[in-house]
Structure 1
Amino acid sequence: MVQTAVPEIQEIEIGEAVNARTQALASFHSLGPPDLVHLTKVHARTGVKEAGTYHYVTGVDPSSASVAAYMNTLTYAPGEGQIWFGKVQHWNIQTGVYCCYNSLSRVDLRVRVHIPGSVEAFVIDERGEKHPVTEQLMQETYVCSIIRAFLFADDDDYNITAYRRFNPIPNREAEDKFLDAAAKMFSRGWQFGSELEVQVPTLISNNLTATFFKYLEVTKSYDKGVNLLEKLREKDSDFAALLARCYLDMDEEVKAVQLLHSSVEESLRDPNLLDLQTRFCMSKGRLDFAVATAKRAVDSAPSEFAPWARLVKVYIEQQDFQSALLTLNSCPMFPYQNVDLHRMPVAQRVHLPIPPEGIIQDIIDDAVAGEGETTTVDPALARLPASSLRGTFAQAYELLVEIVHEIGWDMLLKYRSKVFIMEEEYRSLKTETSSVQKTNNHSRADSDASNVAVNGRESTTSIPEGAGEEEKAALANLVKPENSVDAVIVKGSEDGHHATGEDEATSSTTFRSKRLCERWLDNLFMVMYEDMRVYTLWRAESAHYRAQQLPYKKSLREWEILGALAVRMKHTEEAAEAYNSALEIRFSANALKGLLEIYIAKKELVTVLHTAIKLTSYNHRWFKEFSPQLVRAMQGLVLEEGSQKLRNMIQGSDYSSSVAEVMDMYFDIAKQFRWPGYEEDDDGR
């Protein structure tokens, strides 16, 4: 068993971290933050209180017995010296408090463990008042902890200091407990909230169902998932959509189609069933069927983003880009809500120890620059707005990129001017209308709408001063999008101007087939222009340096940004080039994560394996023992190569035996849940 390290943040005053969490309970609006573990340490010889420390964790069962077992792994033998902040410390843990947020009842479960001694469980409400724990509260809290463990595992928004992540379902026993709890809580699933793309959580679209399907992806226990959903469907026919989705994920298409057919006949306006039908028809190339079901899904759930986005994708595959733009413009957009992380007290010290085993020396720390390494970042790269998009805005941007990838930037602008009213066009109309008004009625004042700043912004982008002729030529060919007219301007003009019959006829003729572009979509065009401008400049510069046989140098952070930019623009080869350039400087987890998806798409299995090994070792160094992304990568390798061959490849490589032991966690999951491709060893593993 490979030893893990425990990160610790030392408080200035003992207990202030727990107090800060209590004060912040009323501000939590979603799933809440990761679980908090607070320890009070005493000197091993004198018994005097030495320090209060804390760290975060997900994947630990919040029941009293499991918390006590977890606390026991954190204790040190009496008198044992422990290296901490470069000094040998002699102390024991006196008490530990485990805090786990229950988002349904909006209380914080606290389990206080006295070492050695008793275990006490209670809850704290938003007013800071203490209450006893009931079986119902414990079950709710347990399900909340599982949801956070799955949904937070690979979420960059939760990359907080001193955060340990464990697999919440490591074996069959834990699986049975989760399925039993989930079966009881599915009917209240909407109370757990939903992902950013869902405006109103429902019985089918919520964080619990999202977690349930992530669990199925990790374990491949589709048979158990089907059994559970069949029982739920007997009680509520709405669960048919989840059952059909499960059938599709496990490649039982015939059963899925039969279920969809019978269920849609019973519920003609179920948007989840219609969306599944659309997905299936698209996968089979029947876009004529897909567009019909996608339109019905939109009619059934017009206030949700997902049905509109699916219809946009169907139009893109149909090469109907004009309809795609009009549909995208109609998508309901939801504001992004920040994650439930609250301000903690100023730390006295932070201890992030390196685990004693399982670490590849070259990847211990990717935050420390090498000797002589440039760390500057071009402001044009640092300010790219697309990297900060979240939720529905990020998905809408991806759809816009898909259109550009199909038809190019210039054609996108042409389609845009065809379907939306542009500023120059509107100004021309106003000028014509003003001329008609002067002719018909000299007493009317000239319209000054053309002097109004449309959309309240002017782009400051320009060709960089240091750009060469090739770069300038490349950027000159990149047409900057003109502004569309703002609806506020049009409305204000209409309120203050009563058009004549001739005016109305002219307006109707000019704009009868055009729409007003939503402000958010207009802004996304400018965001994409910034991405295109920087990408074009990068490729022109790279080609120029190659032609001159000169080294093209960037800092590691710049290469990471360029790699992410190329991924957004769907230029896979250029993304791999940027990420590999970053890795030539030194280790970069961000670059390696980007390359992993590229290698998986290309089915470069050996490279995927070595990339997964490095990322697993890196995660182990930073206390992350569970990553669904890496689990899925290893699943693909086990399916293609078999578990025994993969083990032999790892053991036959140059990695240390402890690194191979860290990788065994994937084979343990494969053994527990019988992944496709798993093989029993001769020793009966």
Structure 2
Amino acid sequence: MSSDVLHGTPEVIEKGTGGFAAEARQRHLTNFTGLGPPDLVCISKHWRGVVGKGVTQGYFHFVRGIKAESTASISTYLGRLIKHGLEGASWYSGGGYKIVSAACRSYNSFSKCDILVKVDVPGSVSSLALFPDGHEEETSDLIWKETFVCSVLRASEGVGEHPLYPCLVAFQPLDSVSDERSFLTAASEIVSRWPLVGSGRPGLTFGDSPSQVTPATCLVAEALFRYFAQDSRFEQAQKFFETEVGEKDVELKYFACRALKDSGNFSSARSLIDTVVQECPSFSAALLMSSQLYLETGQLDAAFVEAKKAVEVNEKDTLAWIHLANLYVEKGDLVESLIALNSAIMEPPTLDPFLRELLPARKRMTKPLPNTSGGTDIIRVLAKRLHEERIGPATGVDESLAELSATLMTDPEKQAYQVLVKALNKFGWDEILNARSDAFIMEADISHLPEGQESSTEQIHETDVGKMQEAASSSQENAESSSDTAGTKISKGQPSPGKDFTLSAETNGTDGQTKNVATEDNQVQGNDSSSVKEDKVREVGGSSEQRILKNKHASLEVYSSKGHKKKMCTPWLDFLVNNMYEDLRALAIWQAEDEQMAQNLRSTSGTSTSHTSSQPNQASSSGTNSQNETQASQMQNDASYIAQSLDADQIAKQTKRPPVDWLRRGELARRIQRSSDAERAFRIAIILSSKNSGAEKSATVSPWLSLLEMYAEDGFASEALVAADAVWNFMDSHADRISTSSFTPPVPAIRRAVFKLVHKHGLHKIREQVMDKRITINRHRIQSVLLDAVEWKVSGYDR
């Protein structure tokens, strides 16, 4: 007798005979965007008791990485499921199950259809193309080429991980270099159909006509470049885009230029991009690349010329506007930088109604026996664990850190946010608010004016008010109101001992009666930042009420200081500024806590330092006040310096925060480009998690993955190898391995990090680091990745 559990593969149990998942997918075919969802596999199983007819039950799971190049390749996977069969039933079972049929639906993003392959038991295989309107067609060679390209790119892009599709099974679609050659050949043969998948550049929407998207601006080209670049295989990327497809469309040579730039070959990149710009003068991406190359070589004026050309030839190219804003920050013109950002088009995040409809069905799932999946569960196990760690426990966490709006930004918004962070480190928070008031009219300011003043403003801005009412929602008004009243000013770059972030009572006008924020927060687990008043946050930057009122008044002026008529700030830019305010607010609380810990550590060690000697009495009271302020400032500076010198072990011993709070603080520090603070926060999370290893959802893997990415990006080989080994240890203890191997397959993050190290340092040096006895790692596992680097010819494998 057999149970209903498929060997090595978890499944969602449908109601009755099944068909719910397939019907939902059919309804949402028109809603699929980009490369589409993972493949859906539906299996029918018939239960037969000792007596009676029995019943048929439906099951489904998702799979990613099937090499969908023909009916045979998909039916091979279905046949393997049927061959492995069902797990045995318990001895007291009154009947058993058997598989009746299995079907797989793989999405074709080019033709906007599902390729359905069905296997009936015994011995019948069929395939067809199923379109949204319900009509069916036979599968052709062209459709199979398109489906093959889509299936490989879905695996490369990590489709189905975030958010996680239920019961996801993941394979590596290309097992060898010869398989990759077949994939690239198929992709190059259908270049003319690439635009059908849609745009790959933010702001360039598909619209009603495919002519609005070219092969060089489509999602397929971007995904193919990432396929090479994320594994640091820049030579192969250059060859593919310059010769194989670049000869068919010269604009595609732009990606070969990107490969040369990323590999550090700027001279060849400059020569190639000049050729592309000469042949395609209206191609904004090429002009943008030309500007970036000029910036890399320190030619700021030439970079400006090319960037302005890029936004002129295509004003909808969001990345070109973001780059132009970055150039203005380099130049020191913050107002023009914000105006450039405001001109960019930010598309809202895409939703997945298909997945949302399936989520309630997860309540009933089968659970295969351990160590039976053969390594196909590593993606699912890791994605589920990362999701649990980021949610954290139900109680005892800082909700203000969990609710930071910046965590919801899309990728283009993150790029724009980095321009604001660069401006913050160069100019300070007050200057950003001043520039925003000088450049834009804010909806919140208009809505809070007295009636008489508002009417006069409306007379001046007859054409702008309608746009204002359209653009800002009530939530954005509230966000603007809170951020505009805060004059927080953060120091440029990393905080130095001379720049203090503590919240003083003296400057707050409370005569020393205000509680110390760090002490108050440390007393309560969860540390709610809402206890910090706006005026206290304002003191972090030393802003005054007069300056805030000046900013609000300036935002109501019709013309900027340069004589340009002001525009209304777009909701998405207002959202980013509010995100920065929230991040700086959380940073102020963090630093206050660190300084309190430093003071506690100094007091417990019994040390005290006097920074000023006693001075003779001054005849003037102003002289006495000045002396007191100097002494207070010196003591605060010393506390700030000690706080920065605290290491992760010292903080971990004193903090009452759970690991997830430090994980979120590490992510916050990375957003605002404070690498040392991020590294320390992640290490604190690791230390705390190791002390509570049995605790549910303890932040164990997430900080190690973040450290792995940071170390690999900065080229710290030994540290990155230790982080990779820690992640691999977790996977070995929680995921299944292949029967012929002593360890689980490496997750993509480990492969990409090690490949990046090979690209930066060369294979020979990384092998030396792996064999270095000063670090404790599983060398055999890492060496297997280095062998892959040689097989796939990662940049640097030959040196």
Give the TM-score band, short-chain normalised: 0.7 to 0.9
Aligned mate of 1:204, from 216, 229, 234: 216
Aligned mate of 1:8, from 11, 14, 23: 11
Tell me whether 1:316 sits opposite 2:318 in the alignment: no
Q: Distance in 2 between matches of 1:619 and 1:432?
A: 61
Q: How far did 1:105 drift?
A: 1.6
Q: Distance in 2 between matches of 1:197 and 1:649?
A: 45
Counterpart residue number, 2:292: 279
Is the contact between residue 201 and residue 217 of structure 2 (CA under 8 Å) also seen in structure 1? no
Q: Distance in 1 between matches of 2:166 and 2:664?
A: 23
* Aligned 1:437-456 pairs, distance under 5 A: 456=477
Tell me whether 1:457 sits opposite 2:494 in the alignment: no
User: What amino acid does structure 2 have at the position aligned with 1:68?
Assistant: S
Aligned mate of 2:183, from 178, 201, 218: 178
Aligned mate of 1:292, from 305, 330, 355: 305
Change (3 A) 1:352 1:390: farther
Change (3 A) 1:353 1:28: farther
User: What amino acid does structure 1 have at the position aligned with 2:365?
Assistant: R
Q: How far did 1:299 drift?
A: 0.6
Where 2:116 maps in the other structure, the secondary structure is strand
With the length of structure 1 as denominator, give the TM-score of the two structures.
0.80
Counterpart residue number, 2:112: 106
With the length of structure 2 as denominator, give the TM-score of the two structures.
0.69
* Aligned 1:145-156 pairs, distance under 5 A: 145-152=151-158
Q: Distance in 2 between matches of 1:133 and 1:31?
A: 19
Where 1:56 maps in the other structure, the secondary structure is strand
Q: How far did 1:56 drift?
A: 1.5
Counterpart residue number, 2:499: none
Tell me whether 1:576 sits opposite 2:596 in the alignment: no
Counterpart residue number, 2:77: 70
Change (3 A) 1:177 1:601: closer
Is the contact between residue 197 and residue 219 of structure 2 (CA under 8 Å) also seen in structure 1? yes
Change (3 A) 1:566 1:525: same
Q: How far did 1:300 drift?
A: 1.0
Counterpart residue number, 1:390: 410
Change (3 A) 1:19 1:533: same
Superposed CA offset, 1:644-673 (max 9, x none): 5577579x9565x9xx56x57634532432
Q: Distance in 1 between matches of 2:559 and 2:432?
A: 25
Change (3 A) 1:622 1:194: farther
Q: Distance in 2 between matches of 1:349 and 1:224?
A: 42
Aligned mate of 1:163, from 165, 168, 180: 168
Where 2:346 maps in the other structure, the secondary structure is coil
Q: Distance in 1 between matches of 2:305 and 2:122?
A: 66
Tell me whether 1:558 sits opposite 2:562 in the alignment: no
Q: Distance in 2 between matches of 1:604 and 1:229?
A: 32
Change (3 A) 1:149 1:483: farther
Is the contact between residue 545 and residue 551 of structure 1 (CA under 8 Å) also seen in structure 2? yes
Counterpart residue number, 1:675: 794
Change (3 A) 1:104 1:654: closer
Q: Distance in 1 between matches of 2:704 and 2:369?
A: 23
Aligned mate of 2:226, from 214, 218, 221: 214
Q: Distance in 2 between matches of 1:78 and 1:337?
A: 38
Aligned length: 635
Q: How far did 1:537 drift?
A: 0.9
Q: Distance in 1 between matches of 2:553 and 2:108?
A: 44
Counterpart residue number, 1:346: 361
Q: How far did 1:15 drift?
A: 2.8
Is the contact between residue 17 and residue 58 of structure 2 (CA under 8 Å) also seen in structure 1? yes
Q: How far did 1:294 drift?
A: 0.7
Aligned mate of 1:540, from 592, 599, 605: 592
Superposed CA offset, 1:447-480 (max 9, x none): xxxxxx9974374689999835897756533459
Superposed CA offset, 1:109-167 (max 9, x none): 111123552321112221334332122222222222122212235x8633233222333
Superposed CA offset, 1:411-444 (max 9, x none): 3223333434578799699869979x9xxxxxxx
Superposed CA offset, 1:58-102 (max 9, x none): 22112222223323443455686389xxx9997554432111111
Change (3 A) 1:309 1:511: closer
Is the contact between residue 25 and residue 126 of structure 1 (CA under 8 Å) also seen in structure 2? yes
Is the contact between residue 635 and residue 675 of structure 1 (CA under 8 Å) also seen in structure 2? yes
Q: How far did 1:274 drift?
A: 0.9
Change (3 A) 1:653 1:433: closer
Counterpart residue number, 2:261: 248
Q: How far did 1:293 drift?
A: 0.7
Q: Distance in 1 between matches of 2:315 and 2:683?
A: 44
Q: How far did 1:633 drift?
A: 0.6
User: What amino acid does structure 1 have at the position aligned with 2:669?
Assistant: A
Is the contact between residue 59 and residue 149 of structure 1 (CA under 8 Å) also seen in structure 2? yes
When the two chains are superposed, the root-mean-square deviation of aligned CA atoms in Å is 4.4
Q: Which moved more, 1:583-592 or 1:671-680?
A: 671-680
* Aligned 1:74-89 pairs, distance under 5 A: 74-75=81-82, 77=84, 81=88
Counterpart residue number, 1:413: 433
Counterpart residue number, 2:570: 519
User: What amino acid does structure 2 have at the position aligned with 1:259?
Assistant: L
Unmatched 5+ stretches in structure 1: 438-452, 491-505, 681-685
Change (3 A) 1:365 1:290: closer
Q: How far did 1:179 drift?
A: 0.9
Is the contact between residue 200 and residue 221 of structure 2 (CA under 8 Å) also seen in structure 1? no
Is the contact between residue 35 and residue 56 of structure 1 (CA under 8 Å) also seen in structure 2? yes
User: What amino acid does structure 1 have at the position aligned with 2:350?
Assistant: Q
User: What amino acid does structure 2 have at the position aligned with 1:181?
Assistant: A
Is the contact between residue 325 and residue 340 of structure 2 (CA under 8 Å) also seen in structure 1? yes
Q: Distance in 2 between matches of 1:237 and 1:124?
A: 35
Counterpart residue number, 1:131: 137
Q: Which moved more, 1:351-360 or 1:628-637?
A: 351-360
Q: Distance in 2 between matches of 1:29 and 1:507?
A: 42
Is the contact between residue 559 and residue 566 of structure 2 (CA under 8 Å) also seen in structure 1? no
Q: How far did 1:608 drift?
A: 1.0
Tell me whether 1:377 sits opposite 2:383 in the alignment: no
Q: Distance in 2 between matches of 1:68 and 1:331?
A: 46
Q: Distance in 2 between matches of 1:118 and 1:649?
A: 57
Counterpart residue number, 1:637: 757
Q: How far did 1:388 drift?
A: 0.9
User: What amino acid does structure 2 have at the position aligned with 1:165?
Assistant: A
Where 1:149 maps in the other structure, the secondary structure is helix
Higher RCO (CA-CA < 8 Å; seq separation 6+): 1
